[in-house]
Amino acid sequence: MITRKNFFALTRLDTDTHSALKRRDQIPFSTESGRNAYSLFDALTFLMADYLAGSPDGLGMNRTMATLIVRDVGSRLVERADDIEANSFVDPEAPIFAGRIARQVSGNEPFCGTSAELAEALASGPTVVAQALVNVSLEFSVLRERCHLQDIEMTDVWPEPGAIRSFEEIREERRAGLRRAVDAANARRCGSA
């Protein structure tokens, strides 16, 4: 665990921006173990979302969408933790990318893997209409350098496998919320007819 001050140093956030992002649910993962307790995983996933939302250096997408993309790949990041760390040095052999692939028929799907795995994923299935990816190995390298500059020990970066909900669980929760909203709207409509 790291302190709030360390989290701010690693993410380059200030108090007001952090409060606004937290209020809007635009911080991908928050340890929730206390107001002043964060994890290095929280910082890494924030850096990933910040890249996706960043402009002009990032993709410049909506911050809420960037946050959702990072949440969707969270469990896959934990599964690929060893690969991410191993390929986070200068001139990596197989950097790990993570994000979302949007297909014409089947919709959005999270992705986490190497460029070879990405090429395979893009070639299979329905036509790809868009993709939003971040080089996780590079973001991990940035995190490691910032930890070094702040004298923060990089231990316990990754949560336990299973601690992060899978994309399928997240998607089902979103669908259930949408079903409840539709049912409530239909009930109001039928009640007023």
Q: What angle do CA 22, 25, 28 make, to 5 degrees?
A: 95
What is the Cα gyration radius of the chain? 18
pTM of the model: 0.85
Domain boundaries, the chain: 2-192
First CA to last CA distance, the chain:
55
Neighbours of 116 (CB within 10 A): 9
pLDDT tens string, the chain, 193 residues long: the values are 898 899 999 999 999 999 899 889 888 887 655 567 789 999 999 999 999 998 777 788 999 999 999 999 999 999 999 999 998 887 778 899 999 999 888 788 999 999 999 999 999 888 888 899 999 999 999 999 999 999 999 988 999 878 887 878 887 888 888 899 999 999 898 875 4
